[in-house]
Structure 1
Amino acid sequence: MIVNRRVGSEQPDEHDELEQHLVEKLNVPLDWPEDGGLTASHVARIAAAATCDTAYSHAANGHLIDLFAALPLPGTTEGKDFWERIRDAGGSAAWNIHPANMGGPFFDRIHDGNEGGIASRVLSFLEELTPAQRTDLAEVIGSALGNGTIGVSGRYGGELWLRDAEMSAWRVALAGRREFETAQERNQFFEAWRDA
């Protein structure tokens, strides 16, 4: 379900879509619990704030994991051949994502708060590729994608995988910069655009 969520609505008497969803779909009165300190509106605001804060990096990292999960697994016969072909096609850039260099608990580190680790490796990998290497890699990746399960394969499927990985990694990197942004900088941003 996608809802438009305004944090700190300009019209406090109007209920936004998330609040309306809590009422309509979950049968939660907006003043619930009566005489309580925390109401459904408060819960909606907390949920929206948490989503705004974490959605980009968590969702994009999860998507990066899904992209890698669509590829042959390291340690399998098919995976060993696939990852060797990736290394051959991508040259030294491929070491950024090759299991021999990135394997072990690297994906597990996301759970430990290393939100940008995989993203930075994917971005370094793609940045270092020549156009010819990128074309060759698209062919290798596309040949490994299951046409029956994903719907595309071949070079086109590989190109989609590479573009998707690039954009997902970029979203993680972009969301990571927000960790260092202060409330004052956020207000300066809105003021500058308001006064432009």
Structure 2
Amino acid sequence: MIIRRFLDNDGELAQHLAQQLNTTLDWPQGAGLTAGHVAKIASATTCDVAYNQAANGHLIDLFAALPLPGTPDGNAFWGALEEAGGTAALYIDPGNMGGPAFDRLARGNEAGIANRVLSFLAELDDHQRDAVAKVIGDALAHDTLVADGRYLGQLWLRDAETTAWHVLLAKRRLHETQDDRTRFFEAWGNS
């Protein structure tokens, strides 16, 4: 996903400022800080922070849908997950990650959990992934009438994998994307 970070007079943000706030990008004239500057700050913040926070929040929501550690259902679930996933499951085991891991995620330490999720999924062979999907899906199936457990588990795994990737990609954006985009637009413009 490429998010526009540049601001032009015909863009959506400029049109919104003109139509909804009755201001232009260069307002106020001759001032040090214009509406355009504020819009660029808002645009950059929205692209980098909101997307990153949304991905982090979704990753937390995925784990929150699973049985809670320390409860009878949770203890059975996490034990079954470790049995199905083998040593790969240790990457996301509550005893190994600890409660503070998700607190840090909510405060912006997004790469740690995302890396653990991707490492967990990368180490699963096809048989283990199928077994893990069944364990997760069976835990989720009681809340829905939509599908069977195995399918729900496959959806959870795909969503967790994609969300973890989005978290890592969003973190990368903070440091590398602007130069990458400049090179991208130059290369494609010259092709």
Give the structure-2-normalised TM-score.
0.83
Aligned sequence identity (%): 57
Q: Does structure 2 retain, via aligned residues, the 8 Å contact 1:119–1:169?
A: yes
1:158-169 superposed matches below 5 A: 158-169=153-164
- Pairing partner for 1:124 from 110, 119, 123: 119
Structure 1: unaligned runs, 5 residues or longer: none
CA–CA distance in structure 1, aligned partners of residues 33 and 147 of structure 2: 48
Which residues in structure 2 correspond to 1:87-98 (within 5 Å)?
87-98=82-93
**Distance across 2 between alignment mates of 1:28 and 1:17:** 13
Whether contact under 8 Å (1:60, 1:171) holds in the other structure is yes
Q: Is the 8 A contact 1:74 1:83 kept in 2?
A: yes
CA distance in 2, matches of 1:185, 1:165: 26
Aligned to 2:97: 102
| SS of equivalent to 2:86 | helix
Number of residue pairs matched? 187
Q: Residues 30 and 39 of structure 1 are in contact (CA less than 8 Å); yes or no, is this contact kept in structure 2? A: no
1:91 partner amino acid: G
TM-score normalized by the length of structure 1: 0.81
Q: Distance in 2 between matches of 1:192 and 1:151?
A: 46
- Give the 5 Å matches for 1:1-196: 7-9=6-8, 12=9, 14=10, 16-21=11-16, 27-31=20-24, 38=33, 40-148=35-143, 151-181=146-176, 183-196=178-191
Judge conservation of contact 1:145–1:153 (CA < 8 Å) in 2: no
Q: For the structure 1 residues 157 and 29, does the alpha-carbon distance in structure 2 shift closer, same or farther, using more than 3 Å as the test?
A: same
Which sections of structure 2, spanning at least 5 residues, go unmatched? none
Give the whole-Å Cα distance in 1 for the aligned partners of 2:117 and 2:147.
22
Shift of 1:181: 1.8
Change (3 A) 1:89 1:65: same
Cα RMSD (Å): 2.7
Q: How far apart are the structure 2 equivalents of 1:135 and 1:125? A: 13
Aligned 8 A contact 2:28 2:35 in 1: no
